[in-house]
Amino acid sequence: MTHPTIEGDGVVLRPAMRDDLGTLRALFGDPGVYERWGGAPMPDSEISAKYLGSRSPSVECFIVEEGGRAVGFVQYHVADDGGAGGGMDLVLSPSERGRGLGTAVVETLVRFVARHLGWERLTVDPDLSNPRGIHFWRTLGFAPVRLVTDDGQREPYWLMERSPSH
């Protein structure tokens, strides 16, 4: 079953499809992105396996569009504890940053998961070395919950949380 398209304030979140490989390759090939998502550009096989094709019931991936143009990627994933919440990740093309699109995408997705999935909390996990990202999430109402320094798989990061009713 294909997830519905989600429409927001000037943005459309449409389910990522196999035809979006080139778009995702460009997004995840940006040094500002891959430095925080694994340290190297993702091979096509990994992009396809993680973000395209069959949908996991616990993860949904979307291409962010503005005016019919692909400008980013966003996903949500159900929390491992099975509670009423989960996390999200957002990537915008470098040329699209700083124009309010990130805010529009986050608010659109927050409304969707609250209304349609009943989520009571949403988390993000920006790297400690990403002050711009931390500031972005804070301005949208995400509060630091815990500094994770011993993950073993990535550099230290903040676990930040927001209630959809924020």
User: Which CATH number is 10's domain given?
Assistant: 3.40.630.30
Distance of CA 41 to the CA centre of its chain: 17
For residue 114, the Cα-to-chain-centroid distance in whole angstroms is 16
Contact call for residues 158 and 147 (beta carbons, < 8 A): yes
Q: Which pLDDT score is estimated for 104?
A: 96
Tell me what pLDDT residue 55 has: 57
Distances (CA, A) of 147 to 4, 127, 136, 151: 35, 10, 17, 10
Residue whose tokens read 């940006």: 30
Is 125 part of a structural domain of the chain? Answer: no
Taking the alpha carbons of 27, 29, 33, 38 in that order, is the dihedral positive or negative?
positive
Residue with token string 């400690």: 128
Total domains in the chain come to 1
pLDDT of residue 54: 61
- Would you say residue 20 lies in a domain? yes
User: Do the domain assignments include residue 159?
Assistant: no
Reduced to 3 states (helix: H, G, I; strand: E, B; else coil), residue 5 is coil
Longest dimension (CA), the chain: 42
pLDDT, residue 137, reads 96
Find the Cα–Cα–Cα–Cα dihedral 13, 82, 150, 144, rounded to 10°. Answer: 60
Asked whether residue 146 is assigned to any structural domain, the reply reads no
How many whole angstroms separate alpha carbon 134 and alpha carbon 137?
5
The tens-digit pLDDT sequence of the chain (166 residues) is 467 899 998 999 999 998 999 999 999 898 888 877 777 888 998 888 888 866 566 889 999 999 999 999 999 998 877 668 899 999 998 888 888 899 999 999 999 999 998 999 999 999 898 899 999 999 999 999 999 988 777 788 999 999 877 6
Cα-atom radius of gyration of the chain, to the nearest Å?
15
Q: Looking at the domain assignment, is residue 64 inside a domain?
A: yes
Domain span at residue 70 reads: 6-120
Query: Do the domain assignments include residue 160?
Result: no
pLDDT recorded at residue 82: 66
Evaluate whether residue 17 is within a structural domain: yes
* Residue 153, pLDDT score: 76
